[in-house]
Structure 1
């Protein structure tokens, strides 16, 4: 198992928050689940820029941290119908996601301008 050479400061809220939300598409995945896209294929379709493999990896990390839960609708049905839902811990992230969304929309002109310069 990999051991870090420099210990992480797990008493820092920003580091802990980034452990959970850091990584591509996690905020978008949580937003999609909140909006009712609960099946993996629905989540992938709602985030066109992300590959299904990346979505799958990010869902696994969100499951690990207990932000979402995975439900198998029918054990006897094939293919099994998998759905994801926010846990109570995941629900506490919604106001943060709303604030990030509002900030992005408020500063959209500046950000879009910078992105077109690249």
Structure 2
């Protein structure tokens, strides 16, 4: 945790307000967010489907990343009134608008990733 009045926090706030690239990377970036978004481009998925499709992600991390994406308006959480309750995650219009960026990032990474 850092103080909101710290120089570091003020610098981050300044760059996020004034640089589209920095803002985009702050919303879409990270280890798991691009993978989540890429999967949801195919359509809504249940939490358990997402978890199974992403090798190496912990339940705690997946929940945290989904909450951040929901807070940023890219993902919507839909609870279906059934027994047992069914929860699905899908892209919002804002999330769907990032499709070209996400696919371009994937293509670029595949072209420039060092061979294993």
Q: Calculate the TM-score normalised by the size of structure 1.
A: 0.82
* Corresponding residue for residue 92 of structure 2: 87
Give the alignment partner of residue 36 of structure 2, picking from 19, 29, 34: 29
Deviation at residue 106 of structure 1 after TM alignment: 1.3
Q: Distance in 2 between matches of 1:39 and 1:2?
A: 36
Structure 1 unmatched ranges of 5 or more? 114-118
Q: Calculate the TM-score normalised by the size of structure 2.
A: 0.84
* Corresponding residue for residue 111 of structure 2: 106
Q: Distance in 2 between matches of 1:28 and 1:94?
A: 12
Structure 2 unmatched ranges of 5 or more? none
* Paired residues, number: 109
Deviation at residue 33 of structure 1 after TM alignment: 1.1
The alignment status of 1:38 with 2:45, answered yes or no, reads yes
Report the 3-state secondary structure (helix = DSSP H, G, I; strand = E; otherwise coil) of the residue aligned with 1:104: helix
CA, structure 1 residues 13+4, in 2 after alignment: closer, same or farther (shift >3 Å)?
Answer: farther
Cα-Cα RMSD: 1.7
Q: Which runs of 4+ in 1 moved over 3 A?
A: none
